[in-house]
C-alpha cells in the first residue's frame, strides 16, 4: 500500500468521525436553542379597544373615488379657495401623473387610487367648543381622551375627522401673545401672504409621488405660527381620525417657529379597522428659525388596512433645534422618514423613533438628515420591534455636504425580533462630502437576551412579565421623551401589541 492510499483512508476516517461528531453536536445545540426559545403562541387579531370603534359613515359630501382634474377642481371649489391654491393643486396633479411608485421598499401594488375617495366632509362644522361637535364624532374623540387631555395638559387642540377639521381651540393667553393655531383652510383665508411664502417650499410636490398626490388633494390639517421670542410652554395637539372606509386623508401641517421661540407639537392618528384599503398621505412642513426650538411628537396608531405614506420635513436655521419623537404602531404599510435639513450654522436635529410591526404589517420607517451648514449636529436613535411575521425596516440617510465642516452625527439603531418569521432590516445610507466630520453609526439586531430574562425571573417575575419588561425597557428611550400621558399610552400600546406575542 502506498503512502498516499493510507493518507486517503485516514482522511476518510477523520472526515466520517468529524461528520458524526457534528451531527451529535448539531442535535445537542438545536435542543439547547429550542429550550431557550420556548414555544410561543400567537393571537393574530386582538381587540384594539377604543381605536377600533367605528361610527356610521355619515358625511355631507363624499367625492367619487379616484383622482382626476375634475375632482381636484371640485375640492378646491368646495373649499372656496383662492386661485393660487388651485393652481398649486393642478401643478401637483400633473407631477403626480408623471411620477412612478418607488422601486424600493414595501409593495404598494395593492394601493389603487381609483378605489380611494380623496375628499369626505363629515356632517359637522368646525367648532371651538366640544359641546357643539356632533355627538357621534365627539364621542369618538371623548373615548380617545382628547377633550380630557385638552383640559389637563394641552394648550390647544385641533381635531380632524376624515377630511375636515371639526374642532380647533387654543388657550387665550397664547393668542394674546400672537400665537396662531388654526385649521389649514382658515389659514389659507386669513394669512395668505405667509402661506404663499411658505406653503410647499419645504416639502416640495416633486419630492415623490405621494407628496405630489398630497398637494393635489390636501384637506384639513393645522397651521401654527409662534412669533419671535414666544415660548409655548404647554404642548399643542392635533388629532387625526379617519372614520370612512376606502378613503384617503391628506392633511397639511405647517408650523413656523420664529427666532428664539419654542413649541412642542403633538400629532396623534388613528382609524378603525375596515377590510378596504385606506390611504394617509399627509404633509408636514416645519420651519425652525434662528435659535428656535421645535419638538414634534407623533404617536401613530392607524388600523391595519391603512397605507401610511406620510412626508415630513423640517428646515432648521442657525442654532435652531428640531426634535422628532416618532412612534409607529399601526398601519399595514408605513413609509415615513422625517427629514431634517440643517441649513444654518449650529443647527441641531434629534430623532427618536420606535416602530412595532406585527402580523401583516410592513413598517418602513427611519430618518433623513442633511447637514448643509458647518457645525451642525444630528443624532438618530431608533428602536424597532417585529413579531408574528411583521416586517420592521429601518431606513435612513445621513448626508454631510461640501463645506459643512465640523459636523457631528451619531446614529444608533436597534432591532428586536420576537420570532423567526418576522423580518428586521436596517438599510442606512451615509454620504460624506468633506473630511471634517465626526460620524458614527451603530446598529444591532437580535432577540431578547436570555440572561436578562433569566435574571429577572430569578428575581421572582414570570417569564412573560420579564419579557414584557425588557421590551418596555427597550422602548424606554422613546417613552421618556414623551409627555407622561403619552408615555402611558405608548406603554399600553406596547402591552396591546405584545399580547399574544409573548406568553
Partner 1 sequence: MSDKMIRGNTLPALTWRWMDVNDVEIKLKNKDIIPYTALDGVGKIDERMKQVFYDLDHGISEEVVRMNNEQCNLANHWEISDNKPIELKLPQSKENPLLVDQNQIVVPPLQNGTVVLYNFSEDETRVERNSTVLIDVENDAEMTLVLIQRLNEKSVSNVSVVARVGDGARLNLATVELGAGNTVFHYMVDMEGFGAESHVKTAYLGSGNDRLDLFYHVRHIGEECISDIQVNGALMDHAVKSFRGTIDFVEGCSGSDGNEEEFAILLDDTVRSIAVPLLLANEDDIVGNHAASAGQIDDEQLFYLMSRGLSRKESEGLIVESRMTPTFDQIPDQELRDDLRREVHQRILRR
Residue 6 binds partner 1 (CB under 8 A): no
Residue 462 binds partner 1 (CB under 8 A): no
Residue 151 binds partner 1 (CB under 8 A): no
Stretch that binds partner 1, among 22-30, 263-271, 307-315, 316-324 (CB under 8 A): 22-30
CB-count exposure of residue 399 (10 Å: 0-12, 13-18, 19+): middle
The three three-digit cell numbers of residue 371, written as one number:
447637514
Alpha-carbon span 299 to 154, nearest angstrom: 15
Q: Which of 415, 470, 498, 501 binds partner 1 (CB under 8 A)?
A: 415
Q: Are strands 293-301 and 262-270 parallel, antiparallel or unpaired?
A: parallel
Q: Which of 432, 452, 461, 469 binds partner 1 (CB under 8 A)?
A: 432
Stretch that binds partner 1, among 41-49, 100-108, 180-188, 300-308 (CB under 8 A): 100-108
SS3 sequence of 317-379: CCCCEEEEEEEECCCCEEEECCEEEECCCCCEEEEEEEEEECCCCEEEEEEEEEECCCCCEEE
Alpha-carbon span 84 to 446, nearest angstrom: 52
Alpha-carbon span 380 to 398, nearest angstrom: 9
User: Which CB sits closer to partner 1, 430 or 457?
Assistant: 430
Query: Minimal distance in Å, beta carbon 443 to partner 1?
Result: 5
User: Which CB sits closer to partner 1, 429 or 462?
Assistant: 429
CA–chain centroid gap for 195, Å, is 25
Residue 30 binds partner 1 (CB under 8 A): yes
Query: Minimal distance in Å, beta carbon 434 to partner 1?
Result: 5
Q: Which of 171, 259, 423, 472 binds partner 1 (CB under 8 A)?
A: 423
Residue 442 binds partner 1 (CB under 8 A): yes
Report yes or no: 362 and 333 within 8 Å, Cβ to Cβ. yes
Binding-residue pattern over the window 374 to 413 for partner 1, x denoting contact by CB under 8 A: ---------------------x-x----------------
Residue 188 binds partner 1 (CB under 8 A): no
The three three-digit cell numbers of residue 158, written as one number:
385641533
Residue 480 binds partner 1 (CB under 8 A): no
CB-count exposure of residue 480 (10 Å: 0-12, 13-18, 19+): exposed
Report yes or no: 227 and 178 within 8 Å, Cβ to Cβ. yes
- All residues at 6 or more sequence positions from 467 whose CB lies less than 8 Å from its CB, including other chains: 448, 453, 498, 502, 503
Q: Which of 439, 465, 469, 476 binds partner 1 (CB under 8 A)?
A: 439
User: Which CB sits closer to partner 1, 18 or 480?
Assistant: 18
Residue 103 binds partner 1 (CB under 8 A): yes
SS3 state of residue 108: coil
The three three-digit cell numbers of residue 97, written as one number:
401623473
Query: Minimal distance in Å, beta carbon 429 to partner 1?
Result: 5
Q: Which of 445, 453, 461, 469 binds partner 1 (CB under 8 A)?
A: 445
Residues touching partner 1: how many (CB under 8 A)? 50
Query: Minimal distance in Å, beta carbon 33 to partner 1?
Result: 6
Q: Which of 77, 431, 484, 488 binds partner 1 (CB under 8 A)?
A: 431
Q: How far is CA 205 from CA 210, 213, 217, 285, in A?
A: 8, 8, 11, 12
Q: Are strands 278-280 and 391-400 parallel, antiparallel or unpaired?
A: unpaired
Residue 204 binds partner 1 (CB under 8 A): no
Residues that bind partner 1 (CB under 8 A): 11, 14-15, 18-19, 22, 26, 29-30, 33, 36-37, 102-105, 395, 397, 415, 417-447
Amino acid at each position: 500500500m502506498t503512502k498516499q492510499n493510507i493518507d486517503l483512508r485516514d482522511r476518510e476516517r477523520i472526515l466520517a468521525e468529524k461528520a458524526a461528531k457534528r451531527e451529535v453536536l448539531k442535535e445537542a445545540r438545536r435542543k439547547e436553542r429550542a429550550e431557550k426559545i420556548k414555544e410561543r403562541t400567537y393571537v393574530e387579531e386582538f381587540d384594539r379597544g377604543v381605536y377600533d370603534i367605528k361610527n356610521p359613515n355619515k358625511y355631507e359630501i363624499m367625492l367619487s373615488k379616484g383622482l382626476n382634474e375634475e375632482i381636484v377642481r371640485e375640492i378646491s371649489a368646495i373649499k372656496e379657495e383662492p386661485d393660487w391654491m388651485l393652481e398649486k393643486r393642478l401643478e401637483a396633479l400633473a407631477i403626480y401623473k408623471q411620477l412612478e411608485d418607488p422601486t424600493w421598499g414595501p409593495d404598494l401594488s395593492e394601493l389603487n387610487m381609483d378605489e380611494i375617495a380623496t375628499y369626505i366632509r363629515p356632517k359637522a362644522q368646525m367648532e371651538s367648543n366640544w359641546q357643539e361637535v356632533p355627538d357621534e364624532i365627539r364621542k369618538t374623540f371623548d373615548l380617545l381622551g382628547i377633550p380630557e387631555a385638552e383640559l389637563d395638559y394641552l394648550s390647544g387642540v385641533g381635531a380632524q375627522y376624515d377630511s375636515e377639521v371639526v374642532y380647533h381651540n387654543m388657550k387665550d393667553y397664547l393668542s394674546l401673545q400672537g400665537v396662531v393655531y388654526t385649521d389649514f383652510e382658515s389659514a389659507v383665508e386669513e394669512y395668505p401672504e405667509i402661506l404663499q411664502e411658505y406653503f410647499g417650499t419645504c416639502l416640495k410636490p416633486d419630492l415623490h409621488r405621494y407628496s405630489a398626490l398630497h398637494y393635489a388633494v390636501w384637506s384639513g390639517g393645522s397651521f401654527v405660527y409662534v412669533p419671535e421670542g414666544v415660548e409655548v410652554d404647554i404642548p399643542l395637539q392635533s388629532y387625526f381620525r379617519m372614520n370612512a372606509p376606502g378613503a384617503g386623508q391628506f392633511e397639511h401641517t405647517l408650523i413656523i417657529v420664529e427666532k428664539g421661540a419654542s413649541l412642542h407639537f403633538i400629532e396623534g392618528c388613528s382609524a378603525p379597522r375596515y377590510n378596504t384599503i385606506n390611504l394617509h398621505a399627509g404633509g408636514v412642513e416645519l420651519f425652525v428659525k434662528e435659535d428656535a426650538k421645535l419638538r414634534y411628537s407623533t404617536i401613530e396608531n392607524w388600523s391595519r388596512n391603512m397605507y401610511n405614506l406620510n412626508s415630513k420635513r423640517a428646515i432648521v436655521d442657525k442654532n435652531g433645534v428640531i426634535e422628532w419623537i416618532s412612534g409607529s404602531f399601526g398601519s399595514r404599510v408605513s413609509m415615513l422618514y422625517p427629514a431634517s435639513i440643517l441649513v444654518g450654522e449650529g443647527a441641531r436635529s434629534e430623532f427618536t423613533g420606535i416602530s412595532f410591526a406585527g402580523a401583516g404589517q410592513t413598517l418602513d420607517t427611519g430618518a433623513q438628515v442633511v447637514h448643509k451648514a458647518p457645525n451642525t449636529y444630528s443624532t438618530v436613535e431608533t428602536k424597532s420591534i417585529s413579531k408574528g411575521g411583521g416586517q420592521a425596516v429601518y431606513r435612513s440617510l445621513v448626508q454631510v455636504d461640501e463645506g459643512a465642516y465640523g459636523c457631528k452625527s451619531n446614529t444608533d439603531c436597534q432591532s428586536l425580533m420576537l420570532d423567526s418569521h418576522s423580518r428586521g432590516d436596517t438599510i442606512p445610507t451615509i454620504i460624506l462630502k468633506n473630511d471634517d466630520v465626526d460620524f458614527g453609526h451603530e446598529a444591532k439586531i437580535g432577540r431578547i437576551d436570555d440572561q436578562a430574562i433569566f435574571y429577572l425571573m430569578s428575581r421572582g417575575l414570570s417569564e412573560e412579565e420579564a419579557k414584557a419588561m425588557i421590551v418596555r425597557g427597550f422602548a424606554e428611550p422613546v417613552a421618556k421623551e414623551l409627555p407622561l400621558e403619552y408615555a402611558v399610552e405608548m406603554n399600553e400600546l406596547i402591552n396591546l401589541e405584545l399580547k399574544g406575542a409573548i406568553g
